[in-house]
Amino acid sequence: MNRSIIPTHVTKVGIRLALRQDYQAILDIDIDAFHHPWDEEQLGTIVKRRDSICMVAVDDDRNEIVLGYIAYRLTKRSIYTWRLAVEPTLWRQGLGTQMIDKLKGKLSPTRRNRLVVDVEEANTRAHMFLRDQKFRAKILNRDVYRFVYRVGDRKV
């Protein structure tokens, strides 16, 4: 992807299912977002799973340029988020919140009532973001925290 065409501010964002032509943009964003970025094979493995979905946030005003993505797995009782990342030039502009809100809208008190995200201990930016989104954290192991949002959970 030509990184020079990424906007520094967006006003009109759409969220849709990822297409095969979005993969390179997803991988480019992943490199900037994670210490251990996915390669094309890993991304392909996730999107080919029957229980997994990858969605992208796109700039509707700029020919559907991919600005961020969220990959997640549906289980009987929860939605497990594999990855959530936004183009670095657009951090703190609400794109991550829009993607999380999209997943929160898929939750229900009687079926899938939890949204789960595992985050490395060193990723403090993600910790703060998820806390602001009303997720609760617990230590999963010495290097990873599990953040959980439950339907109807009002406490921070």
Residue 152 falls in which region: left (phi positive, over 0), alpha (psi -120 to 50) or beta: left
Predicted confidence (pLDDT) per residue in 48-94, tens digit? 999 999 999 998 776 678 999 999 999 999 999 999 999 988 888 88
For 133-151, letters b (16+ CB in 10 Å) and e give: bbbeeeeeeeeebbbebbe
Complete DSSP assignment for 5-36: G--S--S-EEEEE--GGGHHHHHHHHHHH-SS
pTM over the 0.75 mark: yes
Residue 5: the pLDDT is 55
Kindly report the CATH class assigned to 3-150.
alpha beta
Query: What is the helix (H) or strand (E) element at residue 151, kind and residue range?
Result: none
- Mean of pLDDT over the chain: 87
Q: How confident is the model at residue 156, as a pLDDT?
A: 43
* % of the chain surpassing 70 pLDDT: 89
The answer to whether 47 and 54 have CB atoms below 8 angstroms apart is yes
DSSP category for residue 60? T
Quote the percentage of the chain above a pLDDT of 90: 60
Q: Is 115 exposed, middle or buried (0-12, 13-18, 19+ CB in 10 A)?
A: buried
Residue 107 has pLDDT above 90, yes or no: yes
- Residue 26: per-residue pLDDT: 95
